[in-house]
Every structure is written in C-alpha cells, then in structure tokens.
C-alpha cells in the first residue's frame, strides 16, 4: 500500500504509494510518518512522495491528506513523482506550498529536494 523510508544523513523522507488508500489509511500513513520523523530526530526534512505507480485516489482521501499536510511544519522541500497526468492534476490541489515541485522521475525529485535543481534543469536562485 505504502512504504516510508527515512534517510537521516540527508534529512530526507520518501513515501512510495502503490495502492488505493481510504481516509483511515491516510491517517495511519501520517501517524507513521510523524513517528518516524520524531524517531529520526529530524528538525527539518525534505519529502519525496512517489505516486507514479499509484492509482487515482478518492476525493475523500485526497481531502483528508490535504488536511494532514497542513500540519507538516518542518518540511523544507517537497517533490512529488507523478506518473499519469491525471494523478498530477489530482494532487496539485493539495500541494500548493511554494517549495513543492512535481517531477517525472525519482532522480529529478532528488535533485530538487537536495540541491534545489528545478525539474527540467535550472537551479533555483540562491
């Protein structure tokens, strides 16, 4: 359904979603995410959400995730790896933070969250 991986060395959290989630699943995911971030003692972190292999989710689950995400205070950069354009359109509504980018590949996502390289090649002004 989903897998959460924490890389303390890079202060990086990766979530891979591969199946349909319901509202209860989204609450469990966020609870597990928060527990792992706390356990890793990350003061701030980058997040890669890989939904490239994930089916389109229900509107209820998307709304619930959007509510949970407003409580993520320590995230400094977000990259969302999307597959189908429909998936990108669906999650674009809930990820409106200025430090969020949508990417086609995991490597592109990694470059954004670790080095500030904009998807498509240009780096951010710094």
What tokens appear for 87 in the block? 């998936």
Domain membership of residue 78 (yes or no) is: yes
In a domain, 74, yes or no: yes
pTM: 0.84
Name the residue among 18, 25, 22, 24 with its Cα closest to residue 3.
18
Q: What pLDDT is attached to residue 125?
A: 39
* Residue range of the domain that includes 13: 2-115
Phi/psi class of residue 90: alpha, beta or left (left: φ > 0; alpha: ψ in -120 to 50)?
Answer: alpha
β-bridge partners, 123: 117
Domain membership flag for residue 124: no
Give a yes or no: residue 122 inside a domain: no
Question: What whole-number distance in Å separates Cα of residue 3 and Cα of residue 33?
Answer: 10
pLDDT digits over 11-62, tens only? Answer: 999 999 988 899 899 889 989 999 999 999 999 999 999 988 888 888 888 8
In a domain, 121, yes or no: no
Asked if residue 123 is part of any domain, the answer here is no
Domains identified in the chain, total number? 1
- pLDDT-derived band of residue 108, with 50, 70 and 90 as boundaries? very high
CATH of the domain at 11: 3.30.750.24
């Amino acid at each position: 359904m989903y897998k959460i991986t924490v890389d303390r060395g890079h202060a990086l959290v990766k979530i891979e979603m591969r199946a349909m989630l319901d509202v209860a699943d989204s609450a469990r995911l966020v609870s597990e995410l928060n527990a792992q971030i706390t356990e890793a003692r990350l003061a701030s972190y980058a997040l890669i959400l890989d939904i490239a292999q994930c089916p389109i989710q229900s509107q209820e689950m998307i709304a619930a995730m959007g509510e949970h995400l407003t409580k993520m205070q320590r995230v400094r950069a977000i990259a969302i790896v999307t597959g189908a354009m429909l998936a990108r359109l669906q999650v674009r509504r809930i990820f409106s933070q200025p430090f969020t980018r949508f990417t086609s590949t995991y490597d592109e996502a990694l470059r954004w969250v670790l080095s500030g390289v904009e998807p498509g090649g240009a780096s951010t002004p710094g």
